[in-house]
């Protein structure tokens, strides 16, 4: 008799567990994960980047340039549009070992010639971002890189991306922590993230210049990194409801920005 009662209780518990699990699965929110390119670095005029260095930066450094190159792992050895493929090059040089850094900042360009100016312009990241992805070329220096991400409350989060002590191109991929808010209770719920910048850090035990004779030009002593294919893996699914068009940023701007 006791065995029958125990068996009945176990079956009842199992049935409740299965029903509960089924309810959980049924209530899961749909997702639509997409890979979206934020910057291919192929248009340095339209989407410029600039660099800033810490206090021990050698005069006229850091520098930034657009270089006709690409990761073979993405495009192969001889892509059809190879003349149009660009990577973002960063040259850095310091006068002493330290925790030095170089910021790689997205921006906008105004003016021309001697009056050209670059201003920071954070890049909008679409959807609810699950992962940030980028290819980086390194000459095997024991440095590391961080990403700076701003949430809708204005808080900037620093995310460690990885060490740069590798040779050639390498794919860097980081998860966006779940504690970084990307939505709110009220409509419109989605509140996208913004990419503020990347920061390359040196370590005090690593060289900050390529060993060379005193008479050698600075570009032969500089340390170089290259960036390509910045993209995100993001959830672009949004619930549809009656009146969702009224949360359109364009509609709100057009209707309510005049102050009338």
pLDDT in tens, the chain (260 residues): 545 545 555 555 555 555 555 544 445 678 888 999 999 999 998 999 999 999 999 999 999 999 999 999 999 999 999 999 999 999 999 999 999 999 999 998 888 777 878 889 999 999 999 999 999 999 999 999 999 999 999 999 999 999 999 999 999 999 999 999 988 888 778 889 999 999 999 999 999 999 888 788 999 999 999 999 999 999 888 777 888 888 887 888 888 887 66
* pLDDT, position 34: 92
* pLDDT, position 256: 87
> Any idea of the CA torsion for 234, 235, 241, 244, to the nearest 10 degrees?
0
Residue 209's Cα: distance from chain center in Å?
A: 27
> CATH number for the domain including 105?
2.60.120.260
Q: Residues 201-205: contacts with CB within 8 Å, 24+ apart?
A: 201/99, 201/100, 201/101, 201/143, 201/144, 201/145, 201/146, 202/94, 202/97, 202/98, 202/99, 202/100, 202/101, 202/141, 202/143, 203/99, 203/142, 203/143, 203/144, 204/97, 204/98, 204/99, 205/97, 205/142
Alpha-carbon span 59 to 208, nearest angstrom: 14
Residue 256's Cα: distance from chain center in Å?
A: 33
- The answer to whether residue 14 sits within a structural domain is no
- The answer to whether residue 94 sits within a structural domain is yes
Residue 58: exposure state from Cβ atoms within 10 A (0-12, 13-18, ≥19): middle
- The answer to whether residue 5 sits within a structural domain is no
Alpha helices (runs of H) in 41-149, residue ranges in sequence order = 72-75
Domain count, the chain: 1
Label residues 226-237 b or e (16+ Cβ within 10 Å = b): bbbbbbbbbbee
- The answer to whether residue 197 sits within a structural domain is yes
DSSP annotation of 176 reads P
Range of the domain at 82: 30-239+247-252
- The answer to whether residue 9 sits within a structural domain is no
- The answer to whether residue 16 sits within a structural domain is no
- The answer to whether residue 133 sits within a structural domain is yes
- The answer to whether residue 20 sits within a structural domain is no
């Amino acid at each position: 008799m006791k065995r029958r009662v125990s068996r009945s209780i176990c079956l009842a518990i199992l049935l409740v567990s299965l029903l509960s699990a089924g309810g959980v699965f049924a209530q899961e929110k749909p997702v639509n994960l997409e890979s979206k390119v934020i910057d291919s670095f192929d248009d340095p005029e339209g989407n410029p980047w600039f660099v800033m260095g810490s206090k021990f930066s050698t005069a006229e450094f850091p520098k930034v340039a657009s270089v006709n190159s690409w990761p073979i792992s993405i495009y192969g050895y001889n892509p059809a549009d190879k003349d149009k493929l660009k990577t973002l090059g960063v040259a850095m040089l310091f006068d002493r070992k330290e925790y030095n850094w170089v910021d790689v900042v997205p921006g906008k360009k105004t003016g021309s010639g001697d009056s050209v100016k670059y201003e920071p312009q954070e890049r909008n990241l679409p959807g609810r971002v699950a992962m940030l992805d980028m290819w980086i070329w390194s000459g095997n220096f024991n440095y590391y890189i961080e990403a700076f991400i701003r949430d809708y409350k204005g808080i900037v989060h620093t995310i460690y991306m990885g060490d740069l002590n590798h040779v050639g191109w390498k794919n860097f991929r980081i998860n966006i922590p779940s504690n970084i808010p990307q939505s709110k209770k009220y409509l419109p719920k989605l509140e996208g993230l913004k990419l503020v910048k990347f920061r390359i850090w040196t370590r005090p035990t690593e060289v900050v210049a390529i060993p060379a004779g005193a008479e050698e030009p600075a570009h032969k002593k500089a340390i170089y990194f290259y960036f390509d294919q910045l993209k995100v893996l993001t959830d672009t699914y949004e619930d549809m409801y009656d009146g969702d068009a009224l949360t359109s940023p364009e509609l709100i701007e057009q209707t309510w920005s005049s102050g009338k």
